[in-house]
Amino acid sequence: MDDELLEGQLAYYRARAGEYDEWFFRQGRHDRGPEWNRRWFSELGEVRRGLERFGPTGWVLELACGTGLWTVELARHAAGVTAIDASPEVLEINRARLTEAEREGAVRYVEADIFGWRPDAAYDAVFFGFWLSHVPPNGSKVSGSTSGPRSLPAGGSASLTQWAPRPPTRRSAAREAPRTQRP
């Protein structure tokens, strides 16, 4: 994978760290109107219920943890979470969110490029939310070096949440919708 591309991506994410939650919560310029927002938050409820059903216990590895929107949910279930992200700016927002939720003691933060990071422990579960869409087109590094598979012992669990495009209908244009998958 092109290191220059990854460096450019990281610079972009670092610069926009403060905007992620505005997009997620549909605030300001990201507000798409009452109907769109209603569908968005309804689908997010579906994702949260899926994560609740997944209910990761024990020690959880969260790859590309971002601002902590999912970290706080994982910390409600797990004995501990190792949250990894390459952006110190999003890790700072994540820490603040976990402190506010009074779950910061359950999380260990690692600032690292997840393509090169190697786990220092085995985990009972691995989670990543909305990360695959950020993998560069030539994602060959993902299958060869991503730490998730190396982190799970036999019987461990993995969960991912990712956008899946829906086909356009007469009533609406094509849009992205969250889906939760469990192997």
pLDDT in tens, 51-76: 888 888 899 999 999 999 999 999 99
Q: Which stretch, 39-48, 91-100, 131-140, 169-178, has highest mean pLDDT?
A: 91-100
Asked if the model's pLDDT at residue 175 lies above 50, the reply is no
How sure is the predictor about 136, in pLDDT bands with cuts at 50, 70 and 90? low
* pLDDT recorded at residue 180: 44
How sure is the predictor about 183, in pLDDT bands with cuts at 50, 70 and 90? very low
The count of domains in the chain is 1
Q: Residues 125-134: what's their mean pLDDT? A: 72
Mean pLDDT of the chain: 77
Cα–Cα nearest to 98, from 128, 66, 129 = 66
Per the structure, the complete domain to which residue 45 belongs is given by: 3-181
Question: Which of the pair, 172 or 136, is modelled with greater confidence?
Answer: 136
| CATH number where 48 lies | 3.40.50.150
* pLDDT recorded at residue 151: 60
How sure is the predictor about 179, in pLDDT bands with cuts at 50, 70 and 90? very low
| Residue 14 CB partners (closer than 8 Å, separation 6+) | 87, 88, 89, 90
* pLDDT recorded at residue 89: 95
pLDDT digits (tens, 9 = 90+) for 65-107: 999 999 999 999 999 999 999 999 999 999 999 999 888 788 9
Q: Which residues of 78-109 are buried (b: 16+ CB within 10 A; e: fewer)?
A: bebbbbbbbbebbbebbbebbeeeebbebbeb
107-111: strand order across its sheet: 107-111, 80-85, 59-63, 125-129, 157-165, 176-181
Q: Residues 42-59: what's their mean pLDDT? A: 87
